[in-house]
Amino acid sequence: MTSFPKADGAIVFVVDDDPAVREGLSSLIRSAGLKVETFSSGREFQERPRPKVPVPACLVLDIRLPGQSGLELQSELTQTEEHPPIIFVTGHGDIPMSVRAMKGGAIDFLTKPFQAEDLLAAVHQAIELDRRAIIRRHEGADARARYLSLTPREREVMALVVRGMLNKQIAGQLGTAEITVKIQRGRIMKKMGVASVPDLVRIAEKVG
Amino acid sequence: MSEEPLRKTRRKNHRKAPETPEVKQAKAALLAEKAALEQRLHETTQNLAAADAKIKEGIVDLKRADALLHAVEQEFRTVVENTPDQIIRYDRELRRIFVNPAAKASFQATLGHVAGFLRNDGKLLATPEEIEMIQGAIRSVLESGKPREFELTWPNVSGRRAFSVRMEPEFDLTGAVTSVLGVARDITDLKAAEEALRQSQAELARVARVNLVGALAASLAHELNQPLTGVISNAEAALRWLEAGPPNIGEASQSLQRIVRDGHRAGDVVTRTRSFLKKGEPAKAGFKVEELIRETFTLVQDETRRRHVDVQARIAPDLPVVLGDRVQVQQVLLNLLMNSFDAVSEIAGGTRQVIVRVKMKSTKILQLSIEDSGPGIGPELPERLFEAFYSTKSHGLGMGLSISRSIVEAHGGRIWAEPAKRGAKFNFTLPIDGRSRP
């Protein structure tokens, strides 16, 4: 929970088969202080080396590409759970195309040539979304790891605590002493890394 | 006559006066003679009857031949009298000795008058030069004994008309030219129709070209949009680099350089489009086929990308310069390429491949081939493919190949289709530029 990716580590992937467009977009996005990686095809993008630590990112994707089209790449990426949010750019977008893109979860659908501000705004929005998604995924993974460190009895107690029961009630239900429940509750809070019951409730939701 | 009574008689005679052996012998000889004579008479009669039958038959044949001759004559007369062609026969003095009804009606030509004069009154409608010309033509056929063919304009009842004229010498048994048969056909309407056809074909070709341009317009729009997107992105980036604190001059200058480059690229697209649209007359000049192909590939690049077609060029090295109208030849190439894209798009799955090959066909002729991996051409089609308005495509105008053929033929080349390994192969030839060799 402590290893939040830093904002300045964010990266923008640009996939366009035209070098002029790639270079222009790259310079523009870099001028906004973001890192850029460019690719000439969907295949090239999918074969990129992946960082060990997840970095917030977004994908600026041309619709017309040699081989796999931008829309095809989008539906392929959607099959996998995690992928950077997509901003589509196209030379001549029609309505069915943009509907399909947005239904597929695209952040924006820009028609070339576009205003730099529109692109940068979409890029910032997409990166922010991705950052939150990464944190969510990270927190979830962290909570699950902590939960697995509990003993079976502690998990039983935790389930009852989260439901809002008092130590006395829990002891009554489990047929143990109230003092035992109090010790177990202390261990649970420590292992789950929380200081209060509301925090415990919140993290329990992440465990699922 | 039965032999019984004769024998009785003889017996009687025998009894009355017994015959000598000499008499007996003579009688027998006479009898034999008589029989022979009777036989000959019989044969002669038969021969006469046969001859009579043959004569009768001959008469029937003659009558039949006469009827046939009459029918044939009637047939020719009907043809000559009803043909719209104007037929006049001239004798050695250039007088009209036969005039068919068409000639009478059209020229008001009358028998007995000298060639060139139209009416009984001898009034001239043709100019003296024209009359001199027609008389000269008849004279030359009379003198040379050889037919002549020519075209001329000549006044008739409906004004000045164009005629195609054939003059045929006619001979007597000794081989001397006795007369000249002139056949004139009014080709005014035909010529007008030909001209109209030529004009509408030119117009159709232009329409088809406009159509083709329409199809390429989307592609060109995309081609302009790409460098434009580059220009705008780089310009905005350059502004941002300059406005940064401290300004990043290096990045800004790189962006500006890219703007110049992309701007030129957009300009090239415009130039190319303009030269493509130019309606100008064919202007033949020497050009390099490899350059034309490269340029045409750029033109269809967007199309190939959109339809996932793999286009390759296999060009023989050191090709000479060809002679032709570059824009027109490019149109042929474009037509054939677009056709091949349509063909390969018909096939679901598999590789969509188009290969353009250029090689020398002979020392003076270059051959270009466009081979596709489409469904190929039907066995009955190759002949009709190049006809105007013939199309196997649902949206086809049927003009592409027809125009391509007229362009290639106007260049002295040939265009044909043949089955390829997987699909179809279209070939055309171009003459190389004999004036200059690289």
All residues of chain A having their beta carbon less than 8 Å from the beta carbon of residue B233 are 21, 24-25, 27-28, 113, 116
How far off is chain A from B373, nearest CA to CA, in Å? 18
How far off is chain B from A50, nearest CA to CA, in Å? 28
Is A2 a domain residue? no
Query: What pLDDT shows up at residue A6?
Result: 41
How far off is chain A from B298, nearest CA to CA, in Å? 13
B41 vs A28: CA distance, rounded Å: 135
B233·A32 Cβ contact <8 A: no
Which has the closest alpha carbon to A16: A5, A28, A25? A25
B226·A20 Cβ contact <8 A: yes
CB of A110 within 8 Å of any CB in chain B? Answer: no
- Structure tokens belonging to residue B17: 């006066």
**Mean of the per-residue pLDDT values of chain A:** 86
Query: Are residues B316 and B390 located together in one domain of the fold?
Result: yes
B305·A66 Cβ contact <8 A: yes
How far off is chain A from B222, nearest CA to CA, in Å? 6
Compute the residue count for chain A: 208
B225·A92 Cβ contact <8 A: yes
Is residue B248 over pLDDT 90?
yes
B232·A116 Cβ contact <8 A: yes
- A100-153 residue pLDDT tens: 888 888 899 998 888 889 999 999 999 999 999 888 888 888 888 888 888 999
How many Cα atoms sit within 13 Å of A143 on the Cβ side? 17
Query: Are residues B46 and B100 located together in one domain of the fold?
Result: no
All residues of chain A having their beta carbon less than 8 Å from the beta carbon of residue B257 are none
**Mean of the per-residue pLDDT values of chain B:** 82
How far off is chain A from B275, nearest CA to CA, in Å? 24
In this prediction, residues B238-266 reach a mean pLDDT of 92
Domains contained in chain A, number: 2
Query: What pLDDT shows up at residue A3?
Result: 34
A24·B230 Cβ contact <8 A: yes
B229·A21 Cβ contact <8 A: yes
Query: What pLDDT shows up at residue B91?
Result: 92
Cα dihedral A147, A149, A151, A157 in deg (nearest 10): -30
Q: For the domain that residue A193 is a member of, what is the CATH number? A: 1.10.10.10
B 203-222 near A (Cβ less than 8 A): 218, 221-222
Query: Are residues A12 and A53 located together in one domain of the fold?
Result: yes
In this prediction, residues B308-324 reach a mean pLDDT of 90
Is A13 a domain residue? yes
Domain boundary, last residue among B186, B205, B221: B186
Task: Convert chain B into a string of H (helix), E (strand) and C (coil).
Answer: CCHHHHHHHHHHHHHHCCCCHHHHHHHHHHHHHHHHHHHHHHHHHHHHHHHHHHHHHHHHHHHHHHHHHHHHHHHHHHHHHHCCCEEEEEECCCEEEEECHHHHHHHCCCCCCECCCCCCCCCCCCCHHHHHHHHHHHHHHHHHCCCEEEEEEEEECCEEEEEEEEEEEEECCCCCEEEEEEEEEECHHHHHHHHHHHHHHHHHHHHHHHHHHHHHHHHHHHHHHHHHHHHHHHHHHHHHHHHCCCCCHHHHHHHHHHHHHHHHHHHHHHHHHHHHHCCCCCCCEEECHHHHHHHHHHHHHHHHHHCCCEEEEEECCCCCCEEECHHHHHHHHHHHHHHHHHHHHCCCCCCCEEEEEEEECCCCEEEEEEEECCCCCCCCCCCHHHCCCCCCCCCCCCCHHHHHHHHHHHCCCCEEEEECCCCEEEEEEEEECCCCCC
Query: Are residues B331 and B182 located together in one domain of the fold?
Result: no
CB of A105 within 8 Å of any CB in chain B? Answer: no
- A140-176 residue pLDDT tens: 888 888 888 889 999 999 989 988 899 999 999 989 9
Task: Convert A114-157 into a string of H (helix), E (strand) and C (coil).
Answer: CCHHHHHHHHHHHHHHHHHHHHHHHHHHHHHHHHHCCCHHHHHH
Q: By residue range, what is the domain housing residue B208?
A: 193-279
Query: Are residues A20 and A79 located together in one domain of the fold?
Result: yes
CB of B241 within 8 Å of any CB in chain A? Answer: yes
A 55-84 near B (Cβ less than 8 A): 64-67
Query: What pLDDT shows up at residue A88?
Result: 93
Query: What pLDDT shows up at residue B343?
Result: 85
Query: Are residues A87 and A129 located together in one domain of the fold?
Result: yes
Which residues, including other chains, have CB under 8 Å from residue A162's CB and lie 6 or more apart? A197, A200, A201, A204
Total beta-carbon pairs less than 8 A apart between chain A and chain B? 88
B233·A25 Cβ contact <8 A: yes
Query: What pLDDT shows up at residue B165?
Result: 93
Domains contained in chain B, number: 4
Query: What pLDDT shows up at residue B117?
Result: 65
Query: Angle, nearest 10°, between helix axes B289-306 and B326-345?
Result: 30
